[in-house]
Structure 1
């Protein structure tokens, strides 16, 4: 069992920086401008249709006047009124639909951008923290001893334990690690062994039920989980 997943690599940090750079060019004012442009275009088209309907209606009315028929004139006026009302209704419907569409698109784009921004921000923060902590661990290896002690405190029920570290770390902190595992409240069969597959800043405590990672990678992964 491990208390985190994976660490962030330098490649992920570089990727986060590139994404952050691309997001820097995002402008909500431009997005709003695009939505307003769509509304204005829909409004212009609808107004053109309404204007054309009025012209056609006026032509019908003029023709009726020329014919001199009162009945035809009344019918023409009714036709004009009905056509204008119809076109006005169509104009209002079209404008409302365009506004709803533009609002929906703006909201979706904004939400997608915020999700991407949060992800990039998290990666950037983790990359920065990793650089700081790596430098601190390199200069103060005793930090690894504290992390190891915390992990060992979670293994009280184990019957035997193996503390695995990189060979160079074992050479540097071997005595302190031996003193740490010699605590009376730890299983008698608790040993410290070298493991070349581990990094200089990682510590793995193995037991029959699984393992606990207590080094830098584990700490960074735990931080990543907390930031999600």
Structure 2
């Protein structure tokens, strides 16, 4: 039997150990690697080319949503299942729009996790029941257009450009290289973006970018 390769990405070692135990206990699944931050997750995925990446949201270095966007752009054959402690709608639809095929909360049982893993590997979209009903009609089907966000009007053209690249999974160094800017300048732009959007971190900025339609999967 050919086993599906799974890459586990979560900042908490105990969570990674637990997930490894669940996955490796199955005859058709195999953990091929682990990562504790988003940058390592992308590097490991590019090197190992797993069938599935189980990705946390609150990842250091590069958040899970941005890492998902980058992975899906570079490895379209690799599926991503987001696993988070928070079932907020905006995280869920940002993850799905970034290209994730599933969104689960961390209190999911091992049995439910395996159902989701196998569903994603089959090509299904697997969403935690607590958020599925709120999301399917509004976001997954595309029945509702992206939401206008006046906060984006406060950004300069350069800041919008930087936000787009943040939403596509680039880190500050990569953004600096792409836009021919200094890394310090990029950091300043990101800080101003967070202030103008009234968000706490890059994850929430990415959520705004996807919710408003500024960034789209594969765009």
TM-score between the two structures when normalised by the length of structure 1: 0.20
Higher strand share: 2
Higher helix share: 1
Larger radius of gyration: 1
